[in-house]
């Protein structure tokens, strides 16, 4: 155990010496990695805030059902049964008499008075707990199955558009993560490859005296992982700083619309995942670069 710990501490010491040997180049590499990390992370934060904002301003989705010529008690019975479903938040019953009163209050009293009888049907306005296209369509189909219901109206177009836009944003975030993740690994691999070329003689001497490939590889892996972690921290700081710069402007826009909205940043688990991914990508870049160099040299 002591030997294992000593080997790893020795590798960390070598990695630290590599950082001190070229501080300016290392700093620029970390900044480049930070920018690469901040782009998908910033878009992820922006998408999350857009979803929060859309959830606060989007119109309430409703399913409207019109009855056939049935008595009010039967229509109210359906309203009562729908209220018992877990996916239903509210059910409003509008009787024929209530409907004609609404016409009169809307300034159409003369039109209503000229009608020989009330032509309006009993109506149900059902509000689901979650305004997703699948839930709305399922709820509408369930209401249509009732033989006393003549017509059901449900407008899911705007919900589908919003869901499609949010899915497009999530796909863009995923693509950026993949593309910039590969770029991060390539940046680290290139840095490690330059260091291997600079230390080629020392590596050759180490192999001649019996050093294993694992022993030679370990300091570079630590260097790549630490560089990835530092780049992740730089990217995290850029995202936080960007949020702070925009916070006042967003608050002013929200206040102009009579709302209170504050930008949300990365949560603690999300920040931890960001740093873990950047560290892992730096380590992977170093692993492949050293492995290739050792195979070519061996």
Phi, psi of 66 (to 5 degrees): -110, 130
Please state the pTM of the whole predicted model.
0.60
pLDDT of 277 over the 80 cut: yes
Band the pLDDT of 110: cuts 50, 70, 90: low
Of the ranges 44-58, 70-84, 210-224, 227-241, the best mean pLDDT one:
227-241
The Cβ of residue 180 has, within 10 Å, a number of other Cβ atoms equal to 21
Where b means 16+ CB within 10 Å and e means fewer, 116-143 reads: eeeebbbbbbbebeebbbebbeebbebb
Q: What percent of the chain has pLDDT over 90?
A: 2
> pLDDT by residue (tens digit) across 184-203?
778 777 777 777 766 666 66
**3.30.70.3040, 3.40.50.2300, 3.30.70.260, 1.20.120.530: which CATH number matches 63-154?**
3.30.70.3040
pLDDT at 57: 47
Domain boundaries, the chain: 2-57+161-297, 63-154
pLDDT of 298 over the 60 cut: no
> pLDDT by residue (tens digit) across 47-85?
777 777 665 544 567 788 888 777 777 778 777 777 777
Of 159 and 119, more confident:
159
The Cβ of residue 281 has, within 10 Å, a number of other Cβ atoms equal to 27
Instruction: List the structure tokens of 187.
Output: 């940046």
Band the pLDDT of 233: cuts 50, 70, 90: very high
Average pLDDT for 91-107:
67
């Amino acid at each position: 155990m002591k030997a294992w710990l000593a080997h790893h501490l020795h590798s960390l010491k070598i990695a630290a010496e590599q950082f001190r040997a070229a501080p300016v180049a290392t700093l620029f590499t970390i900044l480049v990695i930070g920018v690469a990390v901040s782009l998908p992370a910033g878009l992820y934060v922006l998408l999350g805030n857009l979803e929060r904002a859309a959830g606060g301003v989007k119109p309430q989705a409703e399913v409207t059902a019109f009855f056939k010529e049935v008595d009010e008690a039967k229509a109210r019975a359906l309203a009562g049964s729908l209220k018992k479903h877990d996916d239903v938040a509210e059910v409003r019953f509008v009787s024929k008499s209530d409907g004609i009163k609404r016409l009169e209050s809307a300034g159409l009293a003369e039109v209503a008075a000229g009608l020989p009888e009330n032509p309006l049907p009993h109506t149900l306005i059902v509000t689901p707990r979650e305004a997703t296209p699948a839930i709305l369509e399922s709820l509408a189909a369930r209401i249509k199955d009732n033989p006393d219901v003549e017509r059901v109206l449900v407008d899911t177009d705007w919900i589908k558009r919003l869901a499609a836009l949010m899915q497009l944003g999530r796909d863009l975030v995923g693509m950026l993560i993949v593309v910039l993740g590969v770029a991060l690994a390539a940046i680290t691999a290139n840095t490690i490859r330059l260091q291997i070329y600079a230390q080629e003689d020392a590596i050759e001497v180490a192999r001649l005296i019996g050093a294993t490939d694992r022993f030679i590889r370990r300091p570079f892996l630590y260097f790549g992982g630490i560089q990835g972690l530092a780049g992740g921290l730089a990217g995290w700081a850029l995202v936080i700083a960007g949020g702070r710069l925009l916070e006042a402007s967003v608050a002013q826009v929200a206040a102009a619309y009579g709302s209170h909205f504050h930008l949300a940043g990365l949560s603690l688990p999300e920040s931890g995942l960001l740093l873990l991914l950047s560290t892992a990508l730096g380590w992977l870049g170093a692993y492949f670069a050293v492995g290739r160099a050792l195979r070519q040299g061996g």
